[in-house]
Amino acid sequence: MAPQLSFSVRRHSPVLVAPADRTPRELKRLSDIDDQQLLRVQIPIFHFYRRDLSAGAKDEDPAGVIRDALARALVFYYPFAGRLREGPDRKLVVDCTGEGVLFAEADADVRLEHFGEELLPPFSCLDELVVDMDDCTVAELARGLPGAPTVRPVWARERLEARNPPCPTHPHPEYRDVDPRPLSFHPLDSATFRVFSFGPRDIPALRNRLPLGQRDAFTTFQLLTAFIWKARVVALRLPPEEEATLAAAVDARKRLSRRLPAGYYGNVLAFPAATTTVEKLSKNQLGYAAELIKKAVGAVDDEYVQSTADLLVLRGRSHAMGVNPFFVSNLTHLGLEKVDFGWGRAVFAGPAAGWPGPVGSLGSFYLGGKNSNGEPVIVVPIRLPAQAMERFAAE
C-alpha cells in the first residue's frame, strides 16, 4: 500500500437493513463449537474491486446493490438479523428478532491505484467494515442469479453439541489453563505490525533446509508455519525451559465422517496444538517443528471435535490459550477474492490486519496475494514488540 496515503471520506448515517420478507421469530442455540470464547470476535474483511468501464457495463451504485442483496439474503439467513443473548453458563443463543444488520455507506475521494501495486494489509487508513454474512449468497443475489441462493442454509447446530455428560478424550493443550504468573511476553507491550510475503522461490528454499528424506513430507502450510513459529520464539527470547504452543485453525468439515449438511453455516473449527519447550524448538532443525504441527493437525477427526465441545462446556467456555501461544489460520484457499457482486473478481479480499482482539499479537492469518511481478505469494501479517520484530525479520 502507498505510504502516507491521505484522503477524505463522507460518511452516511448507519442504517439497519432488515430482511426483505417476514422471517420466523424464535430462539436458536449456537453449537458448543460456535460459542467458544476465542471465536467471540468480529473480523474486519475488505473487498477491493475495479470499476467496470467496459461497454454495456451497468453503472449502478455499489452500496445500493449490496444493500438490496443483503436484505434478500437475510430472508434465508434470518438469524443474522437477530441479536445474540448470553444465557446460563455463558451459552449463546440467537434471538431472531428480524431487526436487521448495521449497514454503513461512505464515499471517498481515492482511487484503487492510489493504494500502490501491492494491495496488502494493514489498511490502517480505512475504517473497519465488518462482514458477518455468507458473502456468496449476497453476491449471487446481487448478480440476480436465478434460484439464488444455490445452497440453502441449514442451522442444525445440535450436531456439534457436547455429550451428556461431557467426556473429553483428548488433552487439548490449546485450551490448557496457564498458571497465574507473570508472562514472558505481554501481547500489548509496544507492538509493531509488519507484513511478510513468501513467494515462489521462498517455499522451495525452506524445503531445502530439510534433510533430503523430509523435503516432500510436509505441506506448504506445515513447513511455513514451522518456520514462522520457530523464528517467532527465537525473536521473543523466551526462557528456554518454558513451553511454546502453536495452535492451527482447522476446518474440520471434510474430516467428519458424519457429514454436515451442505448448507451448514456454523463454525466447524478446531484449534489443534503442537507443544514443545522453547529450547527444543529453538535448537532443533526445521523438520522438528514441522513434524509436531503435522501430527497435531492430523489428529482432527470426529472424536477430536466432539472432545473439544465437551471440554469447552466443562471449562465454562474459558479463554485459556495454552502457554506462550501462537495461533495461525490459513485463508489462502478460502476463495474470498472469487466473491462476485457483479464487478468480477476482487483485486484483494481478506482481513484488514492480523488476529483481532486482545490476542492480536498472538495470532496471524495467511492470505493469498501477488507481488509487484504478478507472482502468487503467501502474505503473513505479524505483530511483535519492536525489538523482537527486528530479530524476527533477520531470521
pLDDT at position 356 = 62
Q: Spell out the per-residue pLDDT of the chain, length 395, in tens.
A: 445 567 788 888 999 999 999 999 999 999 999 988 888 877 778 888 887 766 556 667 888 988 999 999 999 999 999 999 999 888 999 999 999 999 988 888 888 777 766 676 666 554 433 333 445 555 555 565 656 677 889 999 999 999 999 999 999 999 887 654 444 555 545 678 888 999 999 999 999 999 999 999 999 999 999 999 999 999 999 999 999 999 999 999 988 877 788 899 999 999 999 999 999 999 999 999 999 999 999 999 999 999 999 999 998 887 667 788 999 999 988 888 888 888 888 888 888 766 665 556 688 889 888 887 888 899 998 989 989 999 999 98
Radius of gyration, alpha carbons of the chain? 22
Quote the CA–CA distance of 200 and 378 in Å, as a whole number.
9
Contacts of residue 104, Cβ cutoff 8 Å, sequence gap at least 6: 11, 12, 14, 15, 129
10-40: b or e for each residue (b if 16 or more CB lie within 10 Å)? eeeeeeebbbeeebeeeeebbbbbbbbbbbe
**Residue in this structure with the C-alpha cell 494493514, named with its chain if needed:** 122
Quote the CA–CA distance of 300 and 287 in Å, as a whole number.
21
Ramachandran region, residue 340 (left: φ > 0; alpha: ψ -120 to 50; beta: rest): beta
Whether 100 and 19 have beta carbons less than 8 Å apart is answered as yes
191-227: b or e for each residue (b if 16 or more CB lie within 10 Å)? bebebbbbeeeebeebbeebeeebeeebeebbbbbbb
The long-range contacts involving 48-54, CB below 8 angstroms and separated by at least 24 positions, are 48/112, 48/115, 48/119, 48/346, 48/347, 48/348, 48/349, 49/341, 49/343, 49/344, 49/346, 49/347, 50/112, 50/343, 50/344, 50/347, 51/343, 52/343, 52/344
Quote the CA–CA distance of 332 and 325 in Å, as a whole number.
22
Contacts of residue 361, Cβ cutoff 8 Å, sequence gap at least 6: 185, 187, 188, 191, 354, 383, 384
| Domains contained in the chain, CATH given | 9-160 (3.30.559.10), 173-394 (3.30.559.10)
pLDDT at position 47 = 84
How many CB atoms are located within 10 Å of the residue 359 CB?
Answer: 18
Q: What is the DSSP letter of 391?
A: H
